[in-house]
């Protein structure tokens, strides 16, 4: 069974600084997707960024980028120029093609002014 591990229960960062959230996963598959979802307090979860395993290039979305290390089964999220609105729970998630999404336990990120 696939597992997703987020080893940082909580993180803090000063506004405008950079923070990296860690994620590791376990799978025997070669083709899959990895995701970071954001869940702000009392608001719905939204997709932040997605990485397809067959692509070597790391995905980027504005201030969000990932460091995908397939051999190490590592998938970290870097948030640059952190903003107060980035405060949320961040979930790393894994999915085999056409299968169900498996989430990690989440990392609470607090951006401080």
Of 5 and 62, which CB lies nearer to other proteins in the complex structure?
5
* Assigned token pair, 4: 């997703």
> Around Cβ 11, how many Cβ atoms within 10 Å?
16
> Around Cβ 5, how many Cβ atoms within 10 Å?
13
Of 68 and 106, which CB lies nearer to other proteins in the complex structure?
106
What residues from 22 to 81 belong to the interface with other proteins (CB under 8 A)?
A: 33, 35, 42-47, 50
State in angstroms the smallest separation of the CB of 25 from other proteins.
Answer: 12
Q: Parallel, antiparallel, or unpaired for β 32-39 and 46-52?
A: antiparallel
Q: Are the CB atoms for 65 and 57 separated by under 8 Å?
A: no
The binding site for other proteins (CB under 8 A) comprises: 4, 9, 33, 35, 42-47, 50, 91, 93, 95, 97-98, 100-101, 103-106
């Amino acid at each position: 069974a696939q597992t997703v591990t987020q080893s940082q229960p909580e993180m803090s960062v000063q506004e405008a600084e950079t923070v990296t959230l860690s994620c590791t996963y376990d799978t025997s598959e070669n083709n899959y997707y990895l995701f970071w979802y954001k869940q702000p307090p009392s608001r719905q979860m939204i997709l932040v960024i997605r990485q397809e395993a067959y692509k070597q290039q790391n995905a980027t979305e504005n201030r969000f980028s990932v460091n995908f290390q397939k051999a190490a089964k590592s998938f970290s999220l870097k948030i640059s120029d952190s903003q107060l609105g980035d405060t949320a729970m961040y979930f790393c998630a894994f999915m085999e093609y056409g299968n169900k999404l498996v989430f990690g336990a989440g990392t609470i990120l607090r951006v401080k002014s």
